[in-house]
Structure 1
Amino acid sequence: MGLAILIALVVLAVAVLVLLDRRRKEMKVEREDASAVEYINLFIGTLYMVLLSLIVVLLWQNVSDVSGDVRTEASGLQALVQTAQRLPASEGEPLLKAAHEYAAAVLNSEWPPKPGTDNGAGENAPAARVLAEARAAVTHPVASGATAGTIEDQAIAEINTVADARDDRLAKSGAGVPDVLLIALAVLSLITIATPLALGLRADALAFAGFVVTTALVCLAFWFVVELQSPFHGLIHASPQPLRDVLAANA
């Protein structure tokens, strides 16, 4: 929807620019209520900037949260590998294998989430199955003694940390701008572009140049919002490099 609105904004901007250029060439007399027009434009521009700032902050924070979750997953896997090396082979080897398979499963099926799926939130998702198998490996009564039991508890805690970070990442992956805010931004963007024409822009070159710059900035700002909608691509996005490092370290 965001891309469709962006295209509509660009088309409207081009149409308004053509009409304003004709008016500029005709050099119509400036409106007598120019000060009132400027006040209305300022008010609309202020509302637009407040809403735009709110949306950008929300989206930027979402990308930051996804990046933090990925780093938490990677650090949890690395800690799990170190813990597995302290356990008996019957329990440690499945954990070493699980750390590698989990990172691979996330990169292959959850980065980015596949369209038309539950984004990996189901129990049958590859990464979820790996975590379940890892828990079963350390809870199986193979190890004996207080020391081994303590290490197993630590391994379970690390698996739960990875699982919690994964759940949060999946929740944030599908979280974008609420539709009502995106629609409101689109409406204000349209009004910002069309208001000068409706109220009467001064017919001089300076006013026309200012409108061109404003229109370009409005379209670029909406494009930036569309780019931030997904934390997996665009100008600013979360990096899967921490999970790739886990794969490289346990290859």
Structure 2
Amino acid sequence: MWGLLAVHLIIILLFLILGWAVRKKEGYWLISGFSSRTKEEQEELIRSGYPQKVGSLLIITALGMLILLPLMFTSFKFAMEVQFGFMIIFLMGGMIYLTKYEVPNKRKRSYIISITLFITIIGGMSALSYFSYQGYELVTKEESFEVTGMYGDEWKYEDITSIELMEKMPEVTVRINGVGLPALSKGHFKVTGYGSSLLFIQKGSSPYIFIELKDERVFINDKNPEQTRLWFEQVREQAELTQ
């Protein structure tokens, strides 16, 4: 949690500094593409108030994130999603609104690009969130077992070197390539005492299955403790038969 809090604070501070520099110190070169414009276009944008409003947008976004920051200290499970969702939607929506201050001959093109970018980013994030929240299953087969869904894979029983049922999940420290949600972790993470591991974890739903393979470590559980225990027994029995 503290690492995530630090990231949020860094983003908020960065937006505040950039917004202040653009609005109060006329650091217009910090705005993407502004320096590459002709002198005439730059002067027209300044007269219309475009760069100043970009600075204000950054400052207001930072203040909004700061107001939402206390959510991280509550029991609300989706504080992170609300924080970053607000940041992206407010920033992208703001940039679409600011196209009205563009130079007239580029206003339509800028509006189309902003709308397209907004739809692409929001659509991509929505799709990622949807698939991230999709469940997974541990399926036992004759010679192998499979974990379905995003980041899932299939492994042979003969590659299992050990399997253990844990009542407590070791501390997960760093996300390498995966999805870390308030109630779910899927993908590759660093786990204290185990190094890089593949996680399919419903947080706070003990017990947890740890499977060590020849070239990989897997942690998995289900929301239902009985289902987790059933998976454990199924994989352990099949692994013992192939030893």
TM-score (norm 1): 0.31
Higher relative contact order (CA 8 A, sep 6+): 1
Larger Cα Rg: Structure 1 or Structure 2? 1
Structure with greater helix percent = 1
User: Greater strand share, 1 or 2?
Assistant: 2
